[in-house]
Chains A and B, each alone.
Chain A
Amino acid sequence: MEKDFEFSARQRPSSVELPSLLACVQSNIANFDITPSPRGETPHSNGSEITGVQNLTNVGSAPSRNSPIQAIKPHHAHTISISLPSSPSGLYVGQNSEIAMSGKAVDNVSNEHSNYHKNPHIVNLQQPKKAMFHSQPMPVGDRKVLNPLEAQPRNPRSSRLRDNRYDSFKTWSGKLERQISNLRGKPQEEEEIIDSQKPEPAPVPGVDRFFDALEGPELETLRASEQLVLPEDKKWPFLLRFPISSFGMCLGVSSQAMLYKTLATSPSTSFLHMSPKVNLVLWSISISLMAAVSFIYFLKVIFYFEAVRREYYHPIRVNFFFAPWIACLFLAIGVPPLVSENLHGSLWYVLMAPILCLELKIYGQWMSGGQRRLSKVANPSNHLSVVGNFVGALLGASMGLQEGPILFFAVGLAHYTVLFVTLYQRLPTNETLPKELHPVFFLFVAAPSVACMAWAKITGEFGYGSRIAYFIALFLYVSLAVRVNFFRGFRFSLAWWAYTFPMTGAAIATIRYSSEVKNVFTESLSVVLSCISTLTVIALLVSTVVHAFVLRDLFPNDISIAITEKRLKSSKKHVRVRAASSDAQDLEACVSGDSEGH
């Protein structure tokens, strides 16, 4: 009966201006039908529906209870099968499940057409808090339920193309998403079509490709002659834009928590009367930040595993895989006394196990890997791979462990020596060292300062070994600080947060030193260094906030992971040039693929 009413209403184009509520109800109830064909037959009626719906959406303020539901629901009808948790619509699916889970209902094409345009805005109105996710393109959902039998309007098709291109970065090329959406209850009929269009995951580029295609001190700027695998002009999904160097923020903030704990508890700075509450506040902030960043990155690992793999193969970003664990170690070292006095020893083993595994892999590559030998890939970010050893030794020694800290100290010292010599040499085969200074150079200060504190804790006194390490750290700090003019002119990136913890480390080492050698100079030096590090962190915080909310480019498209596996233009010429000038070992590395240590 009601259906008859609907159809008759549609076939009377003269009375096309259906009351918005009626149109609403109509499409509402229509959604429960799995009858695509009767609708959308005449363009005229389609047009009426479009205008009807548009009236609805334009009158965004018309707060009839149905309109938001109506506006969202067709959208949910599209996104029924996809439920990326990071998508705001996905969060809604759970709430409106009784409406959304209504079969593979497909609206008429016009509804999709209009809703595709309108829905992002509507949805944003509904969820102002999720501002961070607002750039998640809605088409991800559209693609799934486009009925192949219907005529395809232009826009959904282009949205479908875009989605396929992100597929190569998704876990198992998007199969995981489909699995999850299957688990949520909706079978897919369009899978066969989409499988036929699905691109294979692009093979990960070799190290040489990263050096050829990218430039810059963090290897993040694309060279002019290169192209990307993903579209350059669109904003990619948020998870794809979330780099691992975001853990640098955790490093920066948790090292500040450590600093303020030291300031509060160290006898040489007792004249400052620093309250322990500052440490508590900073520690709470850093632990929540760590939880947030870890969660987001965990989602990226689940949904965009290919992108994570490419980050692992990036010569600079691989070092940031140590950053989460180092940040956890900082959190454990800087834990406020109010929270816990003594941490359990097993925590140390839990935190150091991933560092040990990563190290075995990465140092082994330095030693025996064909393409990733140190003389080629050495760059200041490699300090992040080495400093973890010293931080672990420091934590272990403060917990009272004995053999473990010595083990990590020994390994860290040996590999730090290698890295230090290599970086100082600035070998001609090394392409990653920037000619001008960049904040990444501050990482040079990190290892000696932390090693100094670790050795002092291991031996129980601030002996000659610690002093030597401390003076080396101080010298490097001063030689970089007087060149502060050369640090200008670089584009801000989130990774800069990671470069603040060396300054904090140097400040903490100075505080420790000043408690051994008590005089005005050392005490004032400790205060000065602490102020510098705090000011730097505040400045970075301001820049981050500005970039996040004002300029909105805190997470730009992460082009470093989207380079092509081979150079697309003039590839033949490139290959020939390679053949002419390549060293024999590159050939052997290519040929003896089984000997590579990956």
Chain B
Amino acid sequence: MPSLRPFFPLHQIKLHSQQKYMEDNNKPHQIHLQILSAAAADAAHADAAHAGSIPDKTAAKKAVSRLDVLTRFHAGYFRISLALCGQALLWKTLSEPTTDARALRPVVRAVPSFAFALLWSLSFLTLATLCVLYAFRCALRFRCVRAELAHHVGMNYLFAPWISWLLLLQSAPRSFPRPSDGCYHFLWLAFSLPIIALDVKIYGQWFTQGKKFLSMVANPASQITVIANLVGARAAAQMGWRETAVCMFAVGMAHYLVLFVTLYQRFLGSNSLPAMLRPVFFLFFAAPSMASLAWDAISSTFDTSCKMFFFLSLFLFASVVSRPALFKRSMRRFSVAWWAYSFPLTALALAATEYAQEVKGEVANALMLVLSILSVVVTLALMVFTAIRTNDLLPQDDPFACFPTVRRQP
């Protein structure tokens, strides 16, 4: 019998049949996955090779575990301080005598005033600790800080400490300097000037620099830059510095407009944000809430524009909350990203409080009550989770861990 030479070499036949098998199973993306994982492995190897100090993957893992707290710490941890300071501000606003919270008054009066002082002190201590840690990181791991500044998500959290300080300043107890004092003005300047400097850097990058165009780097965390401006504007308005307030408000709103449009367009798709960071989607409704509060402070009344911002943030809240599938992957394990849930809810509750003061009705009061309770519950839950799972706070594979020698591309 003559030996029949196959038409194709054998390995090609196998490849063909394998592909056919996969397509028959209607799973062409499996092929994609293989390509991707191969590419990723290659990239990791290339990075490691480029770094020169970490020859293979297992060694890389060991190196990570040896890295100390300073390296794994990053500006995203300021979410904790943001949340706590926001809570302090909410408590202060609710307990103010001008707050006509008929529904809330008995509840708020029931909580002893030292609880508020405790909360404020806790926020202050947390913020101070985090700032000290970050200062050490800047001093000793400056390369990491630079890498973080270059990262499209990490760079936004450099605003977070200043926002927290401003919130803390606004929620200061009565014994602290009043907004009309020179001391207060000085503190405001100390906290807002870095915001303005970062504004100039980052907003300028958006439309001038090659790799950091807005369409490339836009992601939901970029709204923190806008929130920083709005918080500064609100604080300035409460101090009486109206022009400065309007200036910061205008800058914030102009960039918010651009950012809002870009984020909705989602030019780059969902790739701009890792799945673990989906909680920052809550920032979508934090920004309009802060805008509403800021304009309320500037114009001294909760007028139609404030209402419109508040309603927009309510709508976005409903929209985000009605999509629980979006957050499924990030909820599998506790991480510091979970703290991103708290501040937006607090901002929304604050805006609802102002709204209820203006529009005195059952619906408005009920809304204020519900949102405030939600924000308090979420923050308490997060505190409990943090206490239980402190180890998870600094996990091995935190997405923004900065290796001293490897730069992560956006």
Residues of A within 8 A of B (CB): 359-360, 363-364, 366-368, 370, 373-375, 378, 403, 406-407, 409-411, 413-415, 417-418, 421-422, 427, 429, 458-459, 566, 571-572, 575, 578-579, 582-592, 594-597
Bitwise, B248-286 to A at CB < 8 A (1) or not (0) is 000000000100110111111111000100100100100
Asked if A374 contacts B265 (CB within 8 A), the reply is: yes
Contact A411 B261 (CB under 8 A): no
Closest to A374 in B: B265
| A587 pairs with B29, CB closer than 8 A | yes
- Asked if B59 CB lies within 8 Å of chain A CBs, one says no
Q: Which 4 A-B pairs have the closest CB atoms?
A: A585-B269, A410-B308, A585-B271, A373-B266
Q: Which residues of A contact B312 (CB under 8 A)?
A: 410-411, 414
Q: Is the CB of B308 within 8 A of A595?
A: no
* Inter-chain contacts of B12 with A (CB < 8 A): none
Per-residue contact bits, chain B 363-393, to A (CB 8 Å; 1 contact, 0 not): 1000000000000000000000000000000
Q: Tell whether, in the assembled complex, residue A417 and residue B260 are in contact, meaning their CB atoms are under 8 Å apart.
A: yes
Binds A, one of B2-10, B122-130, B323-331: B323-331
A591 to B319, CA, bound (A): 23
Cα-based distance from A418 to B309 in the complex (angstroms): 15
Residues of B within 8 A of A359 (CB): 315
Q: Which residues of A contact B32 (CB under 8 A)?
A: 579, 582, 587, 590
With contacts A591-B33, A596-B325 known, is A373 near B269, CB below 8 A?
Answer: yes
Q: Which residue of B lies closest to A371 (CB)?
A: B269
**Whole-angstrom distance from the CB of A242 to the nearest CB of chain B?**
31
Contacts of B268 in A (CB 8 A): 583, 585
Residues on A with beta carbons closer than 8 Å to the beta carbon of B182:
none
> B210 to nearest A CB, angstroms?
19
Q: Which residues of A contact B35 (CB under 8 A)?
A: 579
Contact residue among A360, A409, A566, A571 (Cβ-Cβ distance under 8 Å from B318): A360
Which A residues are CB-close (under 8 A) to B116? none
- Which residue of chain A is the closest to B327 with respect to CB atoms? A595
Report A-chain residues with C-beta under 8 Å of the C-beta of B271: 583-585, 588
A252 vs B389: C-alpha distance when bound (angstroms): 61
Q: What B residues does A589 contact at CB under 8 A?
A: 269-270
Q: State which of A373, A407, A422, A571 has its C-beta within 8 Å of the C-beta of B23.
A: A571
Contact with A along B44-73 (1 / 0, CB 8 A): 000000000000000000000000000000
Whether B275 pairs with A592 at a CB distance below 8 angstroms is yes
**In the assembled complex, which residues on chain B have CB atoms less than 8 Å from the CB atom of A592?**
270, 275, 329
Given contacts A375-B265, A571-B23, A588-B271, A595 and B325 within 8 Å (CB-CB): yes
Tell me which residues across on chain B come within 8 A of A375, comparing CB atoms: 265-267
In the complex, what residues of B have CB within 8 A of residue A411's CB?
Answer: 311-312, 315
**What residues on B are CB-neighbors of A363 within 8 Å?**
319
Say whether A417 contacts B261, CB under 8 Å. yes
Q: Are B319 and A572 in contact (CB-based, < 8 A)?
A: no
Q: A367-B266, A575-B31 are in contact. Are A595 and B311 (CB under 8 A)?
A: no
Chain B residues within an 8 Å CB radius of A373: 265-266, 269
Answer whether A427 and B267 are a contact pair too, CB < 8 Å, given A367-B319, A579-B35: yes
* Residues on the B chain within 8 Å of A374, using CB: 264-266
> Does B304 reach chain A (CB closer than 8 Å)?
yes
Q: Among B31, B270, B309, which residue has its beta carbon within 8 angstroms of that of A370? A: B270
13 A-B pairs besides A364-B323, A407-B311, A413-B308 with CB distance below 8 A are A364-B319, A364-B320, A375-B265, A403-B311, A410-B309, A422-B264, A427-B265, A458-B304, A566-B26, A584-B36, A585-B269, A590-B29, A595-B325
Inter-chain contact A368/B281, CB cutoff 8 Å: yes
CB of A427 to closest CB in B, whole Å? 7
Say whether B265 contacts A406, CB under 8 Å. no
The answer to whether B281 touches A406, judged by C-beta atoms less than 8 angstroms apart, is no
Residue in B29, B36, B269, B329 whose beta carbon sits within 8 Å of that of A594 in the complex: B329
Among B35, B265, B304, max chain A CB count under 10 A is at: B265
Binding site for A on B (CB under 8 A): 19, 23, 26, 28-29, 31-33, 35-36, 257, 260-261, 263-271, 275, 278, 281, 284, 304, 307-309, 311-312, 314-315, 318-320, 322-323, 325-326, 328-329, 359, 363
| Between-chain CB contacts (< 8 Å), 9 pairs | A360-B318, A364-B323, A368-B270, A373-B269, A374-B266, A403-B359, A421-B265, A588-B269, A595-B329
Cα A429 to Cα B309 in complex, Å, equals: 31
Given the interface pairs A370-B269, A572-B19, A595-B326, the reply to whether A414 lies near B260 with Cβ below 8 Å is: yes
A417–B372 CA distance with the chains assembled, in angstroms: 30
CA distance A590 to B271 in the complex (A): 12
Contact partners of B261 in chain A: CB under 8 A: 417-418, 421-422
Residue of A368, A422, A572 with most partner-chain B CB within 10 A? A368
Residues of A within 8 A of B278 (CB): 595
- The smallest beta-carbon distance between A374 and chain B, in angstroms, is 5
Which of B26, B29, B264, B304 contacts A406, CB < 8 Å? B304
Instruction: Tell whether A418 pairs with B269 under 8 Å between CB atoms, given A578-B28, A592-B275.
Output: no
Q: Are B307 and A403 interface neighbours, CB within 8 A?
A: yes
How many Å lie between the Cα of A243 and that of B298 in the bound state?
51
Bound state CA distance, A366 and B363, in angstroms? 30
Q: How far is the CA of A403 from the CA of B320 in the complex (A)?
A: 22
Check A579–B31 contact: CB distance below 8 A. Answer: yes
Find the residue from B268, B284, B323, B363 having the highest chain A CB count within 10 A.
Answer: B323
Residue in chain A with minimal CB distance to B16? A572
Q: How far is the CA of A589 from the CA of B308 in the complex (A)?
A: 33
B residues less than 8 Å from A366 (CB atoms): 264, 266
Q: A360-B318, A368-B281, A407-B314 are in contact. Are A418 and B329 (CB under 8 A)?
A: no
Give the Cβ gap from A377 to chain B, nearest Cβ, in Å.
10
Note all chain A residues with C-beta closer than 8 A to B29. Answer: 587, 590-591
Q: Collect the chain B residues with CB atoms within 8 Å of residue A459's CB.
A: 304
B328 near A594: Cβ-Cβ < 8 Å: yes
Docked complex Cα distance between A368 and B219 (Å): 11
Q: Which residue of B lies closest to A363 (CB)?
A: B319
**Beta-carbon contact of A368 and B269 below 8 Å:** no
B314: which A residues are within 8 A, CB to CB?
407
Specify which chain A residues have a CB less than 8 angstroms from the CB of B264 in the assembled complex. Answer: 366-367, 374, 415, 418, 422
Q: Which residues of B contact A595 (CB under 8 A)?
A: 270, 275, 278, 325-326, 328-329
CA distance A591 to B30 in the complex (A): 9
Inter-chain contacts of B363 with A (CB < 8 A): 403
Smallest CB separation, B274 vs chain A (Å): 10
For B271, the closest partner residue in chain A by CB is A585
A417 to B256, CA, bound (A): 12
Q: Contacts A410-B312, A417-B257: A586 and B304 contacting too (C-beta < 8 A)?
A: no
Q: Cα distance A251–B36 when bound, in Å?
A: 48
Contacts of A421 in B (CB 8 A): 261, 265
Query: Which of B257, B266, B268, B309 has the most chain A CB atoms inside 10 A of its CB?
Result: B266
- With a 10 A CB-CB cut-off, give which of B26, B264, B266, B309 has the most chain A CB atoms: B264
Q: Judging by beta carbons under 8 Å apart, are A585 and B270 in contact?
A: yes
- B contact residues around A583 at 8 Å (CB): 268-269, 271
Tell me the bound Cα distance from A566 to B270 in angstroms.
24
Which B residues touch A588, using CB under 8 A?
Answer: 269-271
Contact residues in A for B325 (Cβ distance below 8 Å): 594-597
Cβ distance B13 to chain A, nearest Cβ, rounded Å = 15
Measured CB to CB, the closest approach of chain A to B341, in angstroms, equals 16
- Cβ contact within 8 Å between A575 and B28: yes
In the bound assembly, the distance between CA atoms of A407 and B265 in angstroms comes to: 23
Contacts of A417 in B (CB 8 A): 257, 260-261
- CB nearest neighbor in B for A597: B323
The 8 Å CB contact of B263, one of A367, A370, A579, A584, is A367
Q: Given B23, B269, B275, B320, which contacts A572 in the complex, CB threshold below 8 Å?
A: B23
Across-interface contacts of A597 in B (CB, < 8 A): 323, 325-326
B268 nearest in chain A by CB position: A585
**Cβ–Cβ < 8 Å partners of B326 in chain A:** 368, 595, 597
Complex interface: chain A residues within 8 A of B322 (CB): 360, 364
For B359, list chain A residues within 8 Å (CB): 403
Contact B266–A410 (Cβ < 8 Å): no
Q: Report A-chain residues with C-beta under 8 Å of the C-beta of B265.
A: 373-375, 378, 418, 421-422, 427
